[in-house]
Amino acid sequence: MVGKRGRVIGRIAPGIVGEVMLPVRGATEAFYAYPATDEVLEVGTQVVVVEFDPPRTVYVARAF
């Protein structure tokens, strides 16, 4: 999971559970997401998974 890139579909901010869509197993799934750093990621931002917290939580950072 780590290193996958995805798209924010629910606003991610410190203390707030956001949501990202990630490509997994040939499909896309929604994962709960937290920011890896203290930044706010608005809907539509490209993000990269830096940490995976099974089963459905990821920590993401801005992709570029």
Partner 1 sequence: MLWTYLIIAAVAVVVLLILFRMVWRVAEPNEALIISGLGAHSSTDQVNETLGFKIVVGRGTAVLPGFQTVRRLPLDIRATPLTVTCVSSQGIPLHIKGVTAYKVGDDYGSIANAARRFLEQSDEQVMGTIHELFAGHLRAIVGSTTVEEMLHDRETLTTNIRGSLAGDMEKLGLVVDSLQIQEIDDESGYIKNLGRPQAAAVEAAARIAQAERDREATEREQAAAAQKAAAVRQSSIAQAGYQAEVDQAKSKASQAGPLAEALARQEVVVAETETAKLNASLAEKQLESTVLKPADAEAYKQRTLAQAARDAQIAAAEANAREVQLRGEAEAKATELTGKAEASAVQAKAMAEAAGIKARAEALATNTEAVVAQQLAEAYPEIVSAAAGSFEKVGNMVVLNGAQGIEDTLVKTITMGGSGFALAKQLIDSLAAKKDDEKPTLEPVPDESA
Interface residues with partner 1 (CB under 8 A) are 10-11, 16-19, 24-25, 27, 29-30, 32, 54-57
Cβ pair 57, 49 in contact under 8 A: no
- How far is Cα 55 from Cα 43, in angstroms, rounded to an integer? 23
Encoding tokens for residue 62? 């801005």
Shortest Å, Cβ 32 to partner 1:
5
Give me the least distance between CB of 5 and partner 1, in Å please. Answer: 18
DSSP code at position 26: T
Taking the least distance from each CB to partner 1, the nearer of 37 and 42 is: 42
